[in-house]
Amino acid sequence: MTESIRQKLRALGTRLFETDRPFIPGELLFYKLFELFIMFWVIRLSWEWSFYTLRNSDVVLPLGLANYLDVSLLFGNNLPFVLAGVITLLTLLSFFRIGFRWQYLLVLLLLHTLHVTRYSQGEIPHSPNLIGMTLLCFGLAIWFFDKPEHRWRFAFGSMIFFIGLGYTSAAFSKMIGTGPTWADGHHLWLWIGEKGTDILSREGVFEANFIQEMALQSAGIATLYLLIGWITELAGFTMWFPRLRPWIVAATIGMHLGITLTMNIRFDLFVMQLVLIGFPWYLLLNRLSWVHSERVITALRKTG
């Protein structure tokens, strides 16, 4: 590896983990509130998936661990609720830093087990992906680092890295799978029709909205919709740079809202997490006088 490549990697690490600026009290509060958001959804999803598994009878599409473990053992009994209970307990203990450092990683393993059990029926959503990936970043940060400042910077920086990489990879995947014709507006016509059929079968009625009508009336407009979305995904890696992050995150949120309006596919969890990570909320929190109290800082560091 040449010295120039090393310098570029060091520069990227500096931007991702923001080691070039001092840690301020507002960050301690923001990161803890962000962790609370993630933990809320970890617990909520674990119980939602547990209740859904009561409907399952056969494994239609094995995912992840389900390729190696027989998750049908969790069908028709209370084992999913036991796992959800353990997840809840370990999550709360981990949030207050009680117990072992590897607890979040165990939570991730148990949550993944419930996920592949719930979605063993052939329908796979994207929504929980960012929650699981962020939980992994938290788990590794707590395991490998002692100081709260180092933990938070690593967890947040690595999370931003993988989110940006994920969006850019999605853009490349479209080109690899379909090629430049992926942005052909006729494809959007097909997707709108397919989702319309789903809604019609579920609700008994489907009426295209204004955005969909514009796309269906003009292949050029439909192509423009897809092209804007593809370019936004391609630029996902620019989230790695703090100065560009608010702009690309705002564009990505707009892209998800556009997907909802055109294809009725919701990314609620994605959007909520993007809102939290895309903007420097810690600067606003740092303006609160009580955040600078020694008692508050000590409490936040103890659970950081």
CA torsion through residues 171, 176, 179, 185, sign: negative
Q: Give the tens place of pLDDT for each residue, 137-184.
A: 999 999 999 999 999 999 999 999 999 999 999 999 999 998 989 999
- How large is the average pLDDT for residues 110-123? 90
Q: What is the pLDDT of residue 257?
A: 94
Query: Is the predicted pLDDT of residue 295 greater than 80, yes or no?
Result: yes
C-alpha separations of 290 from 149, 224, 299 in Å: 19, 49, 12
- How large is the average pLDDT for residues 260-284? 93
Q: What is the pLDDT of residue 1?
A: 58
C-alpha to C-alpha distance for 210 and 264, rounded to whole angstroms: 13
Q: What's this model's pTM, rounded to 2 decimal places?
A: 0.92
The three-point CA angle 92-105-17 to 5° equals: 95
Least confident interval from 38-42, 127-131, 244-248: 127-131
* Confidence category of residue 8, pLDDT binned at 50, 70, 90: confident
